[in-house]
């Protein structure tokens, strides 16, 4: 299957099964999704520029994956909990993370940009696939509590090869945990194409574990919204886990330290530019008379303002005090560490200037 409600030209396709799930989305709602995608793309571009200017250590761009993240992120409830990889900046945005908090970790001034419990989203995971187990465990806790919130885990096509992800699906299926496995298949894991990770559609691997699976056009924000809502509804109704494969494309490099020209064809990039998530929605909204020049200008202005705020916030991020490295290693006092802290403080005081 391949769920698509809005194709690359902005033409709406009917789906009897999934149309009801997005029937409530008025043109204004859609304009809101459009605005979200424009803004997060701009955040992504600004962060990339900041890295090139030496203000961030690293940035993993989400360029091209806006629909997959905004569509799914906006479908969540406040009391749902997200366990993501390091690329889900747009999901964090939908969870209400402040702009500068998106950058703190990448600037290298802190281990976590926000408090997971305040945001309902774990600190992004760098170890590929590890977060899927955490999400499954969290979902097991929800079930024990008798609540109807959902744990959602985001990961990529490369993660599907890690043992942790298979183990997570084993547990999720066995315990019928209320977890949504949201896989963004952006076709590439650094230089490795998805065909190296799997000989079958990624969605089909989940069914092998007994987890119902949806394969959607990840660049179609409507389809993503519909699929996510369907999965969430199942989980809330006690029907267990769902796997969503959002087929999309990593338009940029793996991170700002990567050079994709070494391993992929520019023709492929051009092809996927034709499937851009934002432009297809723009087409649709223009045809619907909702997106005119004035609205476009307004939204562009909002994006500029966000970028400026992001930049100013980034540049103002100061280095923390040296002795903070000893904080939070343990929740309870630890005498070895306390002594090391005292020694290091003593050492630092000994410098002449």
Partner 1 sequence: MSLREFRLPDLGEGLTESDIVAWRISEGDAVELNQIIAEVETAKALVELPSPYTGVVAALHARAGETVSVGDPLVTFAVTPEDAPAVVTEPEDALEPNLVGYGARPEHSGRPVRRARRAPPDVPTHRDQPAPIMAPGERRERPRSTPPVRHLARQLGVDLEQLVGTGGEGLITRLDVEAAAERTRDSLADDAFTDDGPVTRIPIRGVRKHTAAAMVASAFTAPHVTVFHTIDVTRAFELATWVTESGGTKVSFLAIASRAVCLALSGHPELNSRWQQSTQEIVQYGYVNLGIAAATERGLVVPNIKDAGSLDLVGLAAALAELTAEARAGKAAPDRLTGGTFTITNIGVFGVEAGTPILNPGEAGILALGAAQRRPWEFEDGIALRQVMTLSLSFDHRVVDGEQGSRFLAELGNLLQVADEAVLR
Partner 2 sequence: MSDLAPGTTTLGKALNRALFRALDDDPKVMVLGEDVGVLGGVYRITDGLQARFGANRVVDTPLAESAIIGTAIGLAFRGYRPVCEIQFDGFVYPAFDQIVSQLARMHARTNGAVTLPITIRIPVGGGIGSAEHHSDSPETLFVHTPGIRVVTAATPQDAHTLLRQAIACDDPVIFFEPKRRYHVKGEVDEEAAGLPMGAARIARPGDQVTLVTFGSLVPTALDAATAAADERISIEVIDLRSLSPIDFATIEASVRRTGHLVVAHEAPQTAGLGAEIAATITERCFTYLEAAPVRVTGHDIVYPPARLERHHVPDLDRILFGVDRVLGRVPARAELA
Within positions 89 to 108, which residues make up the interface with partner 1, using CB under 8 A?
108
Comparison of 19 and 167: residue with beta carbon closer to partner 2: 167
> Annotated catalytic, 334?
no
Query: From the list 316, 329, 331, 336, which residue makes contact with partner 1 (rule: CB under 8 A)?
Result: 316
Which distant-in-sequence residues (6+ apart) come within 8 Å of 185 by Cβ?
156, 157, 194, 202, 218, 245, 246, 247, 248
Query: From the list 25, 49, 201, 344, which residue makes contact with partner 2 (rule: CB under 8 A)?
Result: 344
Options 74, 250, 275, 280, the catalytic residue = 250
Task: For the chain, state the CA radius of gyration.
Answer: 21
Q: Based on the number of CB atoms within 10 Å of its own CB, is 148 exposed (0-12), middle (13-18) or buried (19 or more)? A: middle
Query: From the list 1, 190, 237, 305, which residue makes contact with partner 2 (rule: CB under 8 A)?
Result: 190
Q: Based on the number of CB atoms within 10 Å of its own CB, is 25 exposed (0-12), middle (13-18) or buried (19 or more)? A: middle
Comparison of 6 and 56: residue with beta carbon closer to partner 1: 56
Total residues contacting partner 2 by CB under 8 A comes to 49
Q: For the CB of residue 346, give the shortest distance to partner 1 in the complex, in Å.
A: 11
> Annotated catalytic, 254?
yes
Q: Which residues pair with 154 in a beta bridge?
A: 182
Which distant-in-sequence residues (6+ apart) come within 8 Å of 279 by Cβ?
10
Long-range contacts for 104-112 (Cβ within 8 Å, ≥24 apart)? 104/317, 106/47, 106/51, 106/56, 106/57, 106/58, 106/59, 107/55, 107/56, 107/57, 107/314, 107/317, 108/56, 108/57, 109/317, 109/318, 109/319, 109/320, 110/320, 111/328
> Per CB under 8 A, does 107 bind partner 2?
yes
The site map against partner 2 for 251-290 (x = CB under 8 A) is: ------xx---xx---------------------------
Query: From the list 25, 49, 98, 269, which residue makes contact with partner 1 (rule: CB under 8 A)?
Result: 49
Give CA angle at 58 (323, 248), nearest 5°: 135
> Per CB under 8 A, does 312 bind partner 2?
no
Options 95, 107, 215, 254, the catalytic residue = 254
> Per CB under 8 A, does 106 bind partner 2?
yes
What is the distance between the alpha carbons of residues 324 and 321, in angstroms, rounded to a whole number? 6
Query: From the list 15, 161, 176, 279, which residue makes contact with partner 2 (rule: CB under 8 A)?
Result: 161
What is the distance between the alpha carbons of residues 256 and 151, in angstroms, rounded to a whole number? 30
> Per CB under 8 A, does 322 bind partner 2?
yes
> Per CB under 8 A, does 324 bind partner 2?
yes
158 makes contact, choosing from partner 1, partner 2, none, with CB < 5 to 8 Å by partner type, with partner 2
Given the rule CB under 8 A, which residues bind partner 2?
57-58, 86, 105-111, 126-128, 158-164, 189-192, 196-197, 257-258, 262-263, 319-320, 322, 324-326, 329, 336-337, 339-344, 346-347, 350-351
Given the rule CB under 8 A, which residues bind partner 1?
46, 49, 52-55, 57-58, 108, 253, 256-259, 261-262, 311-312, 315-319, 349-353
**Active-site residue set:** 250, 254, 263
């Amino acid at each position: 299957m391949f769920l698509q409600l809005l194709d690359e030209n902005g033409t709406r396709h009917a789906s009897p099964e999934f149309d009801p799930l997005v029937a409530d989305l008025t043109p204004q709602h859609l304009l809101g999704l459009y605005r979200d995608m424009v803004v997060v793309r701009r955040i992504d571009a600004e962060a990339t520029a900041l890295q090139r200017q030496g203000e961030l250590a690293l940035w993993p761009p989400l360029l091209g994956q806006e629909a997959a993240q905004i569509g799914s992120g906006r479908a969540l409830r406040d009391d749902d909990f997200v366990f993501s990889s390091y690329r889900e900046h747009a999901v964090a945005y939908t969870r209400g993370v402040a702009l500068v908090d998106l950058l703190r970790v990448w600037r290298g001034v802190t281990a976590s940009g926000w408090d997971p419990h305040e945001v309902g989203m774990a600190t992004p995971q760098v170890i590929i696939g590890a977060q899927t187990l955490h999400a499954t465990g969290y979902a097991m806790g929800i079930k024990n509590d008798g609540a109807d919130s959902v744990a959602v885990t985001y990961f990529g096509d490369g993660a599907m090869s890690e043992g942790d992800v298979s183990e997570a699906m084993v547990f999720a299926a066995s315990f019928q945990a209320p977890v949504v496995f949201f896989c963004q298949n952006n076709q590439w894991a650094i230089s490795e194409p998805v065909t190296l990770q799997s000989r079958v559609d990624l969605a089909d691997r989940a069914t092998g574990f007994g987890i119902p699976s949806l394969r959607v056009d990840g660049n179609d924000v409507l389809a993503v919204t519909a699929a996510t809502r369907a999965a969430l509804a199942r989980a809330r109704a006690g029907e267990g886990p769902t796997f969503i494969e959002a087929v999309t494309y990593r338009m940029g490099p793996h991170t700002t330290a990567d050079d994709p020209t070494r391993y992929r064809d520019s023709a492929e990039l051009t092809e996927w530019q034709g499937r851009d998530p934002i432009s297809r929605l723009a087409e649709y909204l223009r045809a619907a008379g909702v997106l005119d020049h004035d609205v476009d200008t307004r939204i562009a202005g909002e994006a500029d303002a966000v970028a400026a705020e992001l930049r100013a916030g980034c540049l103002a991020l100061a280095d923390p005090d040296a002795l903070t490295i000893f904080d939070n290693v343990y929740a309870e006092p630890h005498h070895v560490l306390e002594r090391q802290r005292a020694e290091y403080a003593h050492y630092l005081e000994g410098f002449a200037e």
